Chains A and B, each alone.
Chain A
Amino acid sequence: MTAIIQTYSSMLLGALGKTILLTTLSLVFAMVVGMIFALMNVGKNRFFNCIGTIYVDAVRGVPLIVLAYFIFFGVPQGIKSLGFQNFRLTALQAGTIALAMNCGAYMAEIIRAGIESVDKGQMEASRSLGLSYGKSMQKVVLPQAIRTMIPSIINQFIITLKDTSILSVIGFPELTNIGKTISGNTFKSLQTWAIVGLMYMVVIVTLSRVAKRIERRMSRGR
């Protein structure tokens, strides 16, 4: 085990860095995607409601690995056939898109539930003062919704971090992919996967501890 750590430590840490990079990028985009579709879903416009529902259903109905294959292999092929011969997606780009789409759908549901948990009277009071729907959302409803959303959002962060391992199938050199390489080179599967598993665990446990602390601090405020 120490032999593996000694030989491959820089490779493993680099891969962990890639995992965290992919997670962070995906989450940032997922927040944006989630917010957009959540707002579509809570609004009164039937057309937007419909789009929001279709998106959430479609993405939640497709396994992430299929979505990743579709975006990494399928989409570039489609675009090339339209005449854009130079179009290509890197594994990082495709991976980020797939994860952001996937996580975004779940995020949309979390944000929607958060918004709906805020008493209707809050929006009414704000509108009665002359504030627009958007301003009321931004200043009155969302700040309250975020409080109830935080635990679920953090949970989703952790799920997304773990889901990055699925993207090893499109060749992105994240932790699981590098684990495969190392165990293939050394034939020491037991040790390699124990180390890889441990590395995920340390990051995730740290993350959830920090999350707990934030959560506690926020609930103490009121």
Chain B
Amino acid sequence: MEDNKKKVHVKNLKKNFGKLEVLKDISIDISEGEVVVLLGPSGSGKSTFLRCLNQLETATAGTIIVDGTDVTDKHTDINKLRENIGMVFQHFNLFPHMTVLENIMLAPVELKKMTKEQARETGMKLLKRVGMDAKSDAYPSQISGGQKQRVAIARALAMNPDIMLFDEPTSALDPEMVGEVLAVMKELASEGMTMIIVTHEIGFAREVSDRIVFMDAGYIVEQGTPEEIINHPKEERTIDFLNKVL
């Protein structure tokens, strides 16, 4: 089946929080290696959509298939699935009681993917990749926001995931630190990682993404290449939004 070849296949996804309908009807397919940016006003459901993909939020209705596995199926081992989907959060969510390196080693060691030595070695490699190897023994409270987010990216990569989800990764950062985080993400994209990114960085979206998806009020309003969406938006709401943020 064609759908199963897609990295992510979402069909008629709905999500309610009590009476509030946050996602009304979302269908989208994402291919391997594709970099997709979700744009839209706050409250449009971008983050909720992202969080449904790894079941941090359970879908109210619809189908989500990631790597051929039905995420919404009760019999799916959700922990196993999550190992394959890295997630980066707006507020980093590093573990403050562990050093930078320990943050990265936690999952591989606890999930018995690696011995402590292997995890340490892999951890240092990942830290090097995000330019944080010099701070491996620091605690999260001792490093800057941009550095925290780079460590958080390294942590999400530790289980060697196929897909990376980014939930407004630069929104909580001081302006001068945004660049260093985007640079790491850009490199990741160039290496062929499948990435789904919620961001307000239009410049970054234009430069790095293969596709931009514009969401509003729980629906996908319009999607296309960065050129199509940013330079030639068709829908009223997209035009309206871009006028405000550009």
Q: Which residues of A contact B (CB under 8 A)?
A: 119, 121-122, 124-132, 135, 139-140, 143-144, 147, 222
Contacts and interface: CB of A to CB of B under 8 A. Distances in A.
Given A124-B89, A222-B139, A222-B141, A129 B97 contact: no
Nearest to A140: B95
Contact of A139 (B54, B96, B110): B110
Given A121-B89, A125-B95, A222-B141, A130 B83 contact: yes
B83 A129 contact: yes
Contacts of A132: 79
B106 A119 contact: no
A124 B155 CA distance: 13
B82 A222 contact: no
A124 B56 contact: yes
B85 interface: yes
B119 interface: no
Interface of B: 54, 56, 79-83, 85-87, 89, 91, 93-97, 106-107, 110-111, 139, 141, 152, 155-156, 158-159
Contacts of B81: 130
30 contacts: A119-B93, A121-B89, A121-B91, A121-B93, A122-B95, A124-B56, A124-B93, A125-B93, A125-B95, A126-B106, A127-B79, A128-B56, A128-B82, A128-B86, A128-B87, A129-B111, A129-B155, A130-B81, A130-B159, A131-B107, A131-B110, A135-B110, A139-B110, A140-B95, A140-B106, A144-B95, A144-B97, A147-B97, A222-B96, A222-B139
A135 B79 CA distance: 11
A126 B93 CA distance: 9
A139 B106 contact: yes
Secondary structure at the A interface, as helix, strand, loop or mixed, is: helix
Contacts of A143: 97
A126 B97 CA distance: 13
B111 A131 contact: yes
Nearest to B81: A130
B106 A127 contact: no
B79 A130 contact: yes
A119 B12 CA distance: 32
Nearest to A123: B93
A122 B94 CA distance: 7
B55 to A, nearest CB: 9
B97 A127 contact: no
Nearest to A130: B83
Contacts of B139: 222
Contacts of A139: 106, 110
B89 A144 contact: no
A117 to B, nearest CB: 13
A195 to B, nearest CB: 45
B142 to A, nearest CB: 10
Given A121-B89, A139-B106, A222-B141, A128 B54 contact: yes
A125 B106 CA distance: 11
A165 B23 CA distance: 60
B80 A130 contact: yes
